[in-house]
Structure 1
Amino acid sequence: MFYLNMNALLAMCGMVFVLMATRKWPQNKRILMLLFNVGFLFLWSGKLFTFYLIYTVVNYVMFVYLCRTPVWRKFSFALFILANIGAVVLFHMLGKNTEGSFLADGLMTLGLLFNVLKVIDALYFAYFFGKEGQVKLLDYVNYILFVPTFTSGPILKFRDFMADLKKPYRVDSAEFQFGVKRIILGLFKKVVVVVWMTDIFNIVMKQELHTHQSIFLMIWFYLLIYVDFSGYSDIAVGFGRLMGFTIPENFKKPFTSPTLTQFWRNWHATLGDWFRDHIFIFFSRKTPSKLMTAGLSILIMTLMGLWHGFSWLFLIYGVYHGVIIAIENLLGKTTVIRRKVSKPYFYFRCLLTQVLVVAAIIINMNDYDRVMRIYKGLFHLPF
């Protein structure tokens, strides 16, 4: 949530100019980014800084151990992953049941949701590459605490980030222009469009809901969360590029996805990629059957739902998407290639996919009373 704070924005802009001014120093990205990432968190919140200092060092020890140990590798690998998943569960529980606790902090919990996925990706890298995958502490800290993607993603892959970190800082005029435009676009979405759309949504919610109003709210909320989250992603991509890092795109034209399988490759793409990569990898030695793929689809989407929040609503949301994707797998309908089908058929499939998405998107509000009020409104005819 740093991007809504003027001091944070100025700090990131200042870091960009420092990197530009020291571009002839080969280590400027590694050393200066470390100072910036750590210093930023320290100035933002001493509690946040203390927690992440401990969390990062502990996970680095696990990472190094997994790189070096020749024994108990599978056991250690599983144990370290379960420990990080346990941390997420603990934070969700504290966030709901504890006030004023050292751990019950919204920003820490939000950051942990994304950073634990990066930690696990690094553990995978250490497990499969061993000593060849080991990196220095300062590089690991930069990966975990990279400020532009700290609270809202996109989710960085360990291998890609380390490759960028080793490259000298080279940002030419074209990349600078690209980065600035993405930041401006993201800020416009977040500060102007989202505020306006939220006001409209709240105005309609105060009315007595009939069928057409509930449908409007579901579609409007869908567009609202797209603008909101894509705005954050735009800013992260822009600042990442200005700092010399290639941040993966989180949204890849999701509205023209002809299947729900393809939709989740285009909507919050880095999250979907993460879950697919880290679950399917255990079945990579042989091609899974359609039935196994369908089952894995339900598992992945259920986990993605629970990742957003531990509630019945998010569980239902994940299972709903998982079941539909499983059906697409069983029927062999996971992909529609645009150039191989007629335009009417392609756009019909896109429309059908959007209808399926809109039908459940309102669950993302995670407010049972408001969600049920909107669904009940669907059956409340205005005549």
Structure 2
Amino acid sequence: MVFSSLLFLFFFLPVVLILYYCSPRRMRNCILFLTSLVFYAWGEPVYIIIMLFSTVADYFFGLQLDKPKKTPFQRKLIVTLSLIVNLLVLFYFKYANFLIENINAFLGTTIPMTDLPLPIGISFYTFQSMSYIIDVYRGEARAQRNWIDFGTYISLFPQLVAGPIVRYNTIAEQLHHRKENSKMFAQGVRRFIIGLAKKVLLANNIGMLWDTISSSNINSMPMLMAWLGIIAFAFQIYFDFSGYSDMAIGLGLMFGFRFNENFNKPYVAQSITDFWRRWHISLGTWFREYVYIPLGGNRQGLMKQIRNILIVWMLTGLWHGASWNFLLWGLYFGVILIFEKWWGLKLLGALPRWVRHVYALVLILFGWVLFAFEDLSSMIEYLKAMVGFNHQSLWDSTTIYLLYTNAVLLIILLIASLPKKHKVVTEQMTFGQVAWYGFLYVLSISYLVDATFNPFLYFRF
């Protein structure tokens, strides 16, 4: 079940809201926990066992870590065992087939594949669960002694399948003492509608252009069509993922939770460093806090800092998928970030603002090619088309037609990607604001009624 579905909008969400607000306050976490399990089990009931296993295991490990008589060695053993359990589950379901496939290709063996589909959102809830254990181990949070409350944190359906990744120490207080009110609920509704419109009206429509271009013959693709296609993909993945994050944040507000922002207008970035401060912020924060800094960060000399950055970005790439293209994508950005850290940012600082912006956008678009094509030969051919190495024309009649028929949409996407002037948000909305949000909601629902194209790109992560 996804948020941008009629089933969720007209059945699941209304039922959950009614149950939640009709229940006594002490029962509300239980309502959220049970309904979140229903949400997760709707598409793949068997994999609810995996999530419950992780939840029970880390609940137990957390209690053991919080016992005052544990020695430092015992506490290290507990946190290590917890991380091993979590990573083994993640590895088996997400990376085992990738490893087997490459062993078979390299050694000529015939080891059978696991033939298991990837559990939805396993990367997100596994990282949340590990953050809880590490925070308790560091003394940054107390162990959660109520299993229902802990289960609510792990399985909370607003951010279960696509984030943002919520660290336990940022939400622990809210699990017990949140105050739902009409102002937060109204803010949540507005934020949810914005996210729904971004996903349904913008991402889905520009995604059809990317599908048309990427499924055409890459070997004979004109240069302008290749650029048009990857620009379409860049808009699709941004409005798809940020729209889903907006819906998650909005749902959280409806239930009294405040989640951290996950995007901050990334396409206005003037460097790749700036881009990654704005894109999927919760993932970058997680890797910085739980991988980069524990490895030593920038405290142990230049070579070890380079090593730490490359490790983080290899893992960032592999987090997105078990495929060589994701590893290349992570290393690509890791190398650029190393360059910027020591030389690039100083050079960029001397350039005009628009040059810095073009520099960042071009590198981001080339990066999206690495991300979009799991088949390496198709990736290379597409890159060749972008730089004109396939010996085709600059454009053709199909390119002009696609550009002409999508021009208005592209302009809307460009405007929607830019920062907005800050306005004072009042609790009382004007009639015009109510009409605008109502229009966006009705229009989004109208598109969903006839939808034949409603993918969610981050569903596989």
TM-score for the superposition, normalised by structure 2: 0.73
Q: Report which stretch shifted further, 279-288 or 193-202.
A: 279-288
Show the counterpart of 1:382: 393
Distance 1:150 1:255, change over 3 A: same
Q: Report which stretch shifted further, 326-335 or 371-380.
A: 326-335
Show the counterpart of 2:181: 171
The structural deviation recorded for 1:178 is 2.0
Alignment partner of 1:244 out of 231, 252, 256: 256
1:188 aligns with 2:197: yes
Q: Report which stretch shifted further, 39-48 or 199-208.
A: 39-48
Show the counterpart of 1:59: 58
Give the secondary-structure state (helix, strand or coil) at the position aligned to 1:238. helix
Q: Is the 8 A contact 1:305 1:318 kept in 2?
A: yes
1:112 aligns with 2:122: yes
1:139 aligns with 2:149: yes
Q: Number of paired residues?
A: 371
Structure 2, unaligned runs of 5 or more: 102-111, 395-461
Distance 1:128 1:228, change over 3 A: same
Alignment partner of 2:292 out of 276, 280, 283: 280
Q: Deviations over 1:72-130 (max 9, x none)?
A: 222332232132122212112466688896xx233x2x321111100110111121128
Q: Which amino acid aligns with 1:81?
A: L
1:156 aligns with 2:166: yes
Alpha-carbon distance in structure 2 between the residues aligned to 1:358 and 1:63: 42
Q: Is the 8 A contact 2:166 2:259 kept in 1?
A: yes
Q: 1:313-352 to 2 correspondence within 5 Å?
A: 313-331=325-343, 333=345, 345-352=352-359
Alpha-carbon distance in structure 2 between the residues aligned to 1:34 and 1:312: 36
Alpha-carbon distance in structure 1 between the residues aligned to 2:297 and 2:48: 41
Alpha-carbon distance in structure 2 between the residues aligned to 1:296 and 1:334: 22
Show the counterpart of 1:202: 211
Q: Is the 8 A contact 1:115 1:144 kept in 2?
A: yes
Q: Report which stretch shifted further, 26-35 or 270-279.
A: 26-35
The structural deviation recorded for 1:320 is 0.8
| Structure with greater helix percent | 1
The structural deviation recorded for 1:228 is 1.0
Distance 1:322 1:43, change over 3 A: closer
Distance 1:334 1:91, change over 3 A: farther
The structural deviation recorded for 1:327 is 1.5
Identity of aligned residues (%): 25
Alpha-carbon distance in structure 1 between the residues aligned to 2:252 and 2:293: 28
The structural deviation recorded for 1:66 is 2.5
Alpha-carbon distance in structure 2 between the residues aligned to 1:18 and 1:335: 57
Q: Which amino acid aligns with 2:324?
A: W
Alpha-carbon distance in structure 1 between the residues aligned to 2:179 and 2:27: 7
1:271 aligns with 2:279: no
The structural deviation recorded for 1:239 is 0.6
The structural deviation recorded for 1:56 is 1.5
The structural deviation recorded for 1:30 is 2.3
TM-score for the superposition, normalised by structure 1: 0.87
Q: 1:19-30 to 2 correspondence within 5 Å?
A: 19-22=20-23, 25-30=24-29
The structural deviation recorded for 1:356 is 1.1
Q: Is the 8 A contact 1:210 1:382 kept in 2?
A: yes
The structural deviation recorded for 1:346 is 3.1
Q: 1:366-381 to 2 correspondence within 5 Å?
A: 366-368=373-375, 369-378=377-386, 379-380=389-390, 381=392
Alpha-carbon distance in structure 2 between the residues aligned to 1:78 and 1:348: 47
- Root-mean-square deviation (CA), in Å? 2.8
The structural deviation recorded for 1:57 is 1.0
The structural deviation recorded for 1:304 is 0.2
Alpha-carbon distance in structure 2 between the residues aligned to 1:165 and 1:192: 34
The structural deviation recorded for 1:42 is 4.6
Show the counterpart of 1:83: 85
Q: Is the 8 A contact 1:363 1:371 kept in 2?
A: yes
The structural deviation recorded for 1:15 is 2.0
Alpha-carbon distance in structure 1 between the residues aligned to 2:298 and 2:370: 36
Give the secondary-structure state (helix, strand or coil) at the position aligned to 1:126. helix
Q: Which amino acid aligns with 2:364?
A: V
Q: Which amino acid aligns with 2:326?
A: F
Give the secondary-structure state (helix, strand or coil) at the position aligned to 2:3. helix
Q: Report which stretch shifted further, 288-297 or 353-362.
A: 288-297
Alpha-carbon distance in structure 1 between the residues aligned to 2:81 and 2:49: 24
Q: Is the 8 A contact 1:155 1:270 kept in 2?
A: yes
Q: Is the 8 A contact 1:67 1:131 kept in 2?
A: no
Distance 1:116 1:34, change over 3 A: same
Q: Is the 8 A contact 1:261 1:334 kept in 2?
A: no
Alignment partner of 2:94 out of 92, 95, 120: 92
Alpha-carbon distance in structure 2 between the residues aligned to 1:61 and 1:40: 24
Alpha-carbon distance in structure 1 between the residues aligned to 2:139 and 2:347: 33
Q: Is the 8 A contact 1:67 1:133 kept in 2?
A: yes
Give the secondary-structure state (helix, strand or coil) at the position aligned to 1:2. coil
The structural deviation recorded for 1:17 is 3.6
Q: Report which stretch shifted further, 184-193 or 322-331.
A: 184-193
1:72 aligns with 2:81: no
Give the secondary-structure state (helix, strand or coil) at the position aligned to 1:83. helix
Alpha-carbon distance in structure 2 between the residues aligned to 1:322 and 1:126: 30
Distance 1:80 1:223, change over 3 A: same
Give the secondary-structure state (helix, strand or coil) at the position aligned to 1:333. helix
Q: 1:285-300 to 2 correspondence within 5 Å?
A: 287-300=299-312
